[in-house]
């Protein structure tokens, strides 16, 4: 997704401020935004704020000689992979449906040869008006994608359909539209198996052994691989985040559940073991809640049993071993040295090593070293989505050129 770009047309209305959040969210996903701000939109957000977030000039005026000399409206209309109108007001919907071209936004919509996505936001009465319904139907018949608005309380005090959808939902739809209109992807046809999140090992019906893993890094990796065209099976322990768009989700609880789900998902071209799997489980799990002992009685001891080693098990399979097996090493000291030792011990091909002595577990950023049999690549600290995209690109390069790396024999 790193080379994708949208042209974002920002219409008027209180929902215009959410376009700034959308620019930021799309940037997190590797999608750049070039922006047109309508005259009405400029009543709610400024060209300076749009430029600051997009990193590019914000275009506003059809008759600006400087802008026309720098990038004319025809070139601007064709400079992106997708045109997104957010918020799409009733006025912009009407202009686009009837071919009006009396300002930069409407002229650009008339001149573009790229797919268009409309994200409406307006008063409920305006959205339900017969004219708006006709305009939306016309646009859809002409091939324009129009998202249904959300229902809820509005700034005007009324309630009903017409609210701008949530920014994450809009960003998901932008990615879906880009996917729909893009060419072949580098991981199309590949099956990638990813584990994520913690596991929970029950002591009794209400208590368990677990860890602080949020699942964010594994989920981001699964999403980035799906964006590159892979069929992704995500085996996840209990987390509080939604699964990425386009992946096959398999929820599990314990380490033994996770191993069984992984073996069921094979064969796979790539296996990435991101999950923070509990090394031990209680030897005996009580069917009833354990009670505190009375004063003077000895506290009960806890006997542990070793959990199956999922990474080693899949790495050392004689049959159905994935061609590329990647483990994660979450360490608090001697990170690279311990990662090399883990790669040799587990029999995997790569180790993604990270220092979790700070705020990595549960946080939004990560700093990793990619350890292979030949080298160590040290990546700068970046957010987990950026780490995921870089790792997905590295995987695509590798399995696209099988001779480049010597992978473990099946």
DSSP string, 327-386: EEEEESSSHHHHHHHHHHHHT-SEEEEEE-SSS-TTSSEE-EEEE-SS-EEEPPPEEHHH
Nearby residues of 297 by Cβ (< 8 Å), 6 or more positions away: none
Same domain, 229 and 268: yes
What's residue 100's pLDDT?
A: 94
- The length of the chain is 410
Over residues 219-254, the pLDDT tens digits come to 999 999 998 889 999 999 999 998 988 899 999 999
pLDDT at 381: 86
Q: Is 156 a catalytic residue?
A: yes
Note whether residue 76 is domain-resident.
Answer: yes
What is residue 408's predicted lDDT score, i.e. its pLDDT? 38
**Which backbone phi and psi does 159 adopt, to 5 degrees?**
-130, 140
Predicted confidence at residue 179, as pLDDT, reads: 83
- Give the β-pairing of 350-355 and 116-120: unpaired
Asked whether 273 and 311 are in contact (CB, 8 A), the reply is: yes
> How far is Cα 141 from Cα 62, in angstroms, rounded to an integer?
28
Q: Is the pLDDT of residue 123 over 70?
A: yes
Task: Let me know if residue 186 belongs to a domain.
Answer: no
The pLDDT-based confidence of 194 (bands split at 50, 70, 90) is very high
- Based on the fold, state whether residues 236 and 378 are members of the same structural domain: yes
Of all residues in the chain, what percent carry a pLDDT higher than 90?
A: 65
Q: Pairing state of beta strands 159-163 and 150-153?
A: antiparallel
Residues belonging to the binding site are 279, 308-311, 328, 342, 346
335 part of a folded domain: yes
Its domain, for residue 270, covers 191-285+295-400
Examine the pLDDT at 200 and tell me if it is beyond 70.
yes
Give the torsion sign (CA, 138, 140, 141, 143).
positive
Q: Is the pLDDT of residue 385 over 70?
A: yes
Q: What is the pLDDT of residues 73-85, one digit of tens each?
A: 778 888 899 999 9
Task: Decide if pLDDT at 410 tops 50.
Answer: no
Which of 141, 162, 181 is the C-terminal boundary of a domain?
181
253-287, pLDDT tens digit by residue?
Answer: 999 999 999 999 999 999 999 999 999 999 988 88
In this structure, how many other beta carbons lie within 10 angstroms of the beta carbon of residue 242?
A: 10
The total of structural domains in the chain comes to: 2
What does the mean pLDDT of the chain come to? 88
pLDDT at site 71: 64
Q: Same domain for 159 and 197?
A: no
Compute CA distances 111 → 39, 78, 139, 350, whole Å. Answer: 19, 8, 15, 48
pLDDT computed for residue 70 by the predictor = 62
pLDDT at 296 (0 to 100): 57
Q: What is the mean pLDDT of residues 36-52?
A: 95
Beta carbons within 8 Å of 185's beta carbon, 6+ residues apart = 227, 228, 229
Q: Per-residue pLDDT for 11 more than 60? A: yes
SS (H, E, C) 260-313: HHHHHHCCCCEEEECCECCCEEECCCCCCCCCCCCCCCCCCCCCEEECCCHHHH
Instruction: Out of 35, 86, 156, 262, pick the active-site residue.
Output: 156
Whether 290 is in a domain gets the answer: no
* Residues 305 and 331 grouped into a single domain: yes
Exposure on the CB side of residue 311, measured as CA atoms within 13 A: 26
Radius of gyration of the chain (CA): 26
Give me the mean pLDDT over the 367-387 stretch.
Answer: 88
Q: Are residues 217 and 172 in the same domain?
A: no
Residues 352 and 251 in one domain: yes
In a domain, 406, yes or no: no
Which has the closest alpha carbon to 244: 390, 388, 32? 388
Terminal alpha carbon distance of the chain? 31
- Check whether residue 155 and residue 195 sit in a common domain: no
- Whether the pLDDT of residue 67 is over 80: the answer is no
Average pLDDT score over residue span 17-45:
95
- Residue finishing a domain among 181, 205, 230: 181
Pairing of strands 32-37, 270-273: unpaired
Band of the pLDDT at 402, cuts 50, 70, 90? very low
The pLDDT, as a whole number, for residue 407 is 40
Q: Which residue numbers belong to the known binding site for CTP?
A: 279, 308-311, 328, 342, 346
Q: Which of 120, 150, 181 is the last residue of a domain?
A: 181
pLDDT 10s digits, 284-309: 888 888 776 655 566 677 889 999 99
Residue 327 to residue 329: CA distance in whole angstroms: 7
Shared-domain flag, residues 277 and 163: no
Residue pair 111/77 in contact by the 8 Å Cβ criterion: yes
Asked if the model's pLDDT at residue 380 lies above 70, the reply is yes
In terms of domains, do 207 and 176 share one? no
Angle, helix 104-111 to helix 90-98, in steps of 10 degrees: 40
| Same domain membership, residue 214 and residue 133 | no
For 224-265, the DSSP string reads HHHHTT-EEEEEE-S-SSPPPTT-EEEE--SHHHHHHHHHHH
Determine, yes or no, domain membership for 149: yes
Please report whether residue 119 resides in a domain.
yes
Q: What is the pLDDT of residue 252?
A: 97
Instruction: Name the least confident of 50-64, 75-89, 173-187.
Output: 173-187
CB 230 within 8 A of CB 190: yes
- Do 203 and 110 fall within a single domain? no
Q: How confident is the model over 337-356, as pLDDT tens digits?
A: 899 999 999 999 999 998 87
Buried b (16+ CB within 10 A) or exposed e, 95-113: bbbeeebebbbbbbbeebe
- Does position 401 have pLDDT exceeding 50, yes or no? no
Shared domain for 228 and 371, answered yes or no, is yes
User: Nearest to residue 317, comparing CAs of 280, 367, 397, 263?
Assistant: 263
Beta bridge partners of 273: 195, 327
Q: Cα–Cα distances in Å, from 164 out to 15, 18, 168?
A: 7, 8, 11
Please state the φ and ψ torsions of residue 230, each to the nearest 5 degrees. Answer: -75, 150
CATH number reported for the structural domain that contains residue 72 in this entry: 3.40.50.1950
> Span 84-103, mean pLDDT?
96
Whether the bond between 367 and the residue before it is cis, its omega within 30 degrees of 0, is no
Cα separation, 198 vs 210, in Å, equals 6
């Amino acid at each position: 997704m790193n080379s994708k770009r949208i042209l974002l047309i920002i219409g008027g209305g209180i929902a215009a401020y959410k376009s700034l959040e959308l620019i930021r969210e799309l940037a997190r996903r590797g999608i750049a935004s070039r922006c047109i701000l309508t005259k009405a939109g400029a009543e709610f957000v400024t060209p300076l704020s749009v430029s600051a977030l997009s990193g590019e000039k914000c275009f506003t005026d059809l008759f600006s000689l400087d802008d026309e000399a720098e990038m004319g409206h025809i070139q601007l209309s064709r400079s992106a992979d997708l045109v997104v109108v957010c918020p799409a007001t009733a006025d912009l919907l009407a202009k686009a449906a009837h071919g009006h071209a009396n300002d930069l936004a409407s002229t650009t919509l008339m001149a573009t040869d790229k797919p268009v996505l409309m994200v409406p936001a307006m008063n409920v009465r305006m959205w339900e008006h017969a004219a708006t319904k006709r305009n939306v139907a016309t646009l859809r018949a002409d091939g324009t994608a129009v998202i249904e608005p959300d229902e809820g309380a509005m700034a005007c005090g009324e309630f009903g359909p017409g609210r701008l959808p949530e920014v994450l939902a809009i960003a998901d739809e932008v990615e879906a539209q880009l996917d729909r209109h893009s060419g072949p992807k580098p991981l199309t046809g590949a099956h990638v198996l990813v584990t994520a999140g913690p596991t929970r090992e029950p002591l009794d019906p209400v208590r368990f052994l677990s860890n602080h893993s949020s699942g964010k890094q594994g989920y981001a990796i699964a999403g980035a691989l799906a964006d590159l065209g892979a069929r992704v099976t995500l085996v996840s322990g209990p987390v509080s985040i939604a699964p990425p768009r386009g992946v096959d989700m398999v929820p599990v609880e314990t380490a033994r559940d996770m191993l069984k789900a992984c073996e069921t998902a094979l064969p796979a071209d790539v296996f990435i073991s991101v999950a923070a799997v509990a090394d031990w489980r209680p030897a005996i799990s009580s069917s009833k809640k354990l009670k505190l002992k009375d004063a003077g009685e000895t506290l009960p001891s806890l006997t542990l049993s070793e959990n199956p080693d999922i990474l080693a098990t899949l790495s050392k399979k004689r049959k159905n071993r994935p061609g590329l097996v990647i483990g994660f090493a979450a360490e608090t000291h001697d990170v690279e040295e311990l990662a090399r030792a883990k790669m040799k011990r587990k029999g995997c091909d790569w180790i993604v090593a990270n220092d979790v002595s700070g705020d990595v577990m549960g946080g939004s950023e990560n700093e990793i070293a990619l350890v292979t049999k030949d080298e160590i690549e040290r990546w700068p600290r970046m957010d987990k989505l950026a780490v995921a995209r870089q790792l997905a690109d590295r995987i695509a390069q590798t399995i696209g050129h099988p001779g480049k790396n010597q992978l473990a024999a099946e």
